[in-house]
Structure 1
């Protein structure tokens, strides 16, 4: 049996294990170990090669980005800056048709710029925005759909955990990925807002009968009090990266320190809540870092088997062309999003596809953006739309079913497909700021 055949069997075994319910990193590690063992003929050599892969992953400088940005995100969430973002956005958009929905999108965009975790956005705004929207006449289906749709902004607007993960997997500049995420992220937020206004005008049965006239306006002093801490964090983190003052790792550290100082100074954090934040950060960081180590092992097995090179040759022989490969790749990512979580999709597909797309001289920064966009669509699609499940668990309301949330999120998934098409057709949306 050739190494190529062994690699294909390892991929098949991994797919079966994941579908059977095995934790994705464990499936990656086990299948990678067995695959390298079969290729090299020695379990000792296989264990040494995979241990070296794990060591290389941990010793990477950018490995430190993950815990720092996760810590900042949880501090921001615990300190209640999500509610501040919601109040500020509502004050800005309250006069629009569907203003509370647009305000939720705006709040998610602001929150995304200081957290980078979609699940955190979904949980926070389910508690804040959904009750407000239902109270003011929006249908539960539409209210939960708005939160589900806009929560994905956390994975596109920098800082983004998925962009960090792609940067580590593809060995690309995380700072460049952050800059490239600004255009598509803002475009998504604008299209979501336009879609909400259009739905409020043309599909009133779906949206409901919102009565936003009684939403109180915030005094200017209160507005500044809520907006300034958020703005200062965004300027500190993103401004520091774009101005060249901080590396992404340093920016994560400064953001975490800034959020901590603001939280305690404003009386919103206690030692007890800080302990909760540290525990949650440790759990998420351990999970993500375990994923990265497993991905490095998987990449080594693929390189030894020659599967990516073989797939590249097959694509060349099939004469699929540039657009054929990119469109098939996006379709596969979206389809996998229906059954797997975002990180797992990237861990499986990115190492497999990089050797195929690099010889085609595809801009890997742009490739990372379209990968994250396509992965995000899977957050909203059944049966495994993780944002939808987070919203359902956070609501704990038997009258709002998973089907209702999926139907509410469907228009936003279609809008994301439109934005993905635009970024595919006009790469400058992502890469223009880099030039």
Structure 2
């Protein structure tokens, strides 16, 4: 009964629009009060902030967010789009393909999905619209390409999942590389299908000579440097993910200074990074309050025992969990969804014998789908805000990519080695 009261209050507060951090904290505090009284609430509240945020791995989150915002301020993303446009712009749907490739490249040097969506909105949508692209196709490509930053390392979502599930941050980040490439390929194949079905939706762009294509690669060294300063050093074992995040932020700052980024842009990047980091920190503190309450009720262990003892095949349970993630993604922010579900679902999947790294990547891919699924797809609203395009048009442009993503999830479920192989080759 106590568990029902706490969960009921949590969902009621979320429905009424209270910030996730406050909803989690208030629900957890009420539940703790019902279980242990006033002294229990005060004691846990006094210790939780330091305990929740003292994790060494948590430092990687603000560093990756800072890195992403400095990259945006420096204009490096514009260079990446121009390189991709030069190489594939002439092909059918070329600018859309260039957007997908830019999303993958930006994801490889940035951990923020919303930052990626905002940057791609300003970088690629105007070019596609000017070229005569169907606005729905253009917006849908940008919406789904922005989600690649959640999967390809460095990824704030991956770091947070690893902290919540007590997994190796480095191995989980590296595990996202091959699925990230497969997602990029899936986006491009979906674009090719849409253009084949309606060639007028994506007119061909200008062609470039081989000399122009080769010359365009002169700016690619910035992407390679940032990629090696983060993902490269993690895979080789030179640095931990936390150290790599600091190296990446430092490299982004150095490149921004080299490109003579205005001081005002620096200031804005730092402010945005601080705001986002504080938001995540408050959510984590609230989640710890709610987590203590769930632990004291033994609800997680009871649920695991019930499901394991129900006699249902593990694959059926997996499908049900993935469907739940799909539904939650329609209504809930990614960070909130991970914080609410991972402490409960991760032990269940481990008990059923599923590889925790594999399931983490599957969860992130499902979260990608949620970022572009109505009614609360975060990337869709970001794109609508930056382009002043109707939200409905962006959602309509995204749905073919949602279907393609779900097919890819089925492939990753059937062939788990696509996820688990690369991290298994790491030295530690």
* Local SS of the residue matching 1:415: helix
Equivalent position of 2:217 in the other structure: 224
Which structure 2 residues correspond to residues 100-139 of structure 1 after superposition, within 5 A? 100-139=95-134
Q: Give me the whole-angstrom Cα distance separating, in 1, the residues matched to 2:89 and 2:130.
A: 15
Contact conserved, 1:8 with 1:307, CA < 8 A, in 2? no
Assess if the C-alpha contact under 8 Å between 1:53 and 1:300 holds in 2.
no
Matching residue of 1:340: 332
1:27 and 2:23 equivalent?
Answer: yes
Aligned twin of 2:34: 38
Aligned length: 424
**Deviating more after overlay: 61-70 vs 224-233:** 224-233
Aligned partner of 1:148 in structure 2 is 143
1:151 deviation in Å?
0.9
Q: Deviations over 1:294-320 (max 9, x none)?
A: 222222211111111121122134322
1:286 aligns to 2:275 (yes or no): no
Retained in 1: the 8 A contact 2:91–2:204?
A: no
Residues in 2 aligned to 1:71 and 1:33: alpha-carbon distance in whole angstroms: 32
Using the TM superposition, give the Cα deviation of residue 165 of structure 1 relative to its aligned residue in structure 2, in angstroms. Answer: 0.9
Q: Deviations over 1:312-333 (max 9, x none)?
A: 1221343222112211111111
Aligned-pair CA distance for 1:391: 0.3
The CA deviation at 1:52 is: 2.7
Is 2:310 aligned against 1:318? yes
3-state DSSP of counterpart to 2:124: helix
Instruction: Choose from 385, 388, 405 the match for 2:377.
Output: 385
**2:167 partner SS:** coil
- Residue aligning to 1:412: 401
1:6 aligns with 2
CA distance in 2, matches of 1:299, 1:100: 46
Alignment of 1:62 onto 2:93:
no
Question: Matches of residues 167-246 of structure 1 in structure 2 within 5 Å?
Answer: 167-204=162-199, 208-213=201-206, 219=212, 222-246=215-239
| Structure 2 spans left out of the alignment, 5+ residues | none
| Structure 1 residues 241-256: aligned runs within 5 Å | 241-256=234-249
* 2:321 equivalent in structure 1: 329
CA distance in 2, matches of 1:213, 1:258: 34
1:243-281 Cα offsets, whole Å, 9 max, x none, are 1111111111111111111111122x1322211111111
Q: Which residue of 2 aligns with 1:368?
A: 360
Task: Report the equivalent of 1:93.
Answer: 88
2:76 to 69, 74, 81: 81
Cα distance change of structure 1 residues 365 and 53 upon mapping to structure 2, 3 Å threshold? farther
- Which of structure 1's runs of 4+ aligned residues deviate more than 4 A? 214-218
Q: Quick one: distance in 1 between partners of 2:413 and 2:356? A: 13
The alpha carbon displacement at 1:222 in A equals 4.2
**C-alpha separation in 1, matches of 2:224 and 2:423:** 23
Q: Tell me if the contact between 2:172 and 2:423 (Cα under 8 Å) persists in the aligned partners.
A: no
Structure 2 vs 1, CA of residues 213 and 223 (structure 1 numbering), >3 Å: closer, same or farther?
closer
Other structure's SS at 1:320 match: coil
TM-score (norm 1): 0.94
TM-score, normalization by structure 2: 0.95
Q: 1:293-312 residue pairs with structure 2 within 5 A?
A: 293-312=285-304
Would the alpha carbon gap of residues 300 and 217 (structure 1) be closer, same or farther in structure 2, given more than 3 Å must change? farther
Cα contact 2:153–2:173 (8 A) shared by 1: yes
RMSD across aligned positions (CA): 1.6
Alpha carbons 2:86, 2:213 under 8 Å: kept: no
Q: How big is the shift at 1:83?
A: 0.6
- Mapped to 2, the partners of 1:118 and 1:260 lie a distance apart of 20
- Write the distance in 2 (CA, Å) between the matches of 1:81 and 1:374: 29
What residue is the counterpart of 2:155 in the other structure?
160
1:93 and 1:99 in contact (8 A); partners too: yes
Q: CA deviation at 1:142?
A: 0.6
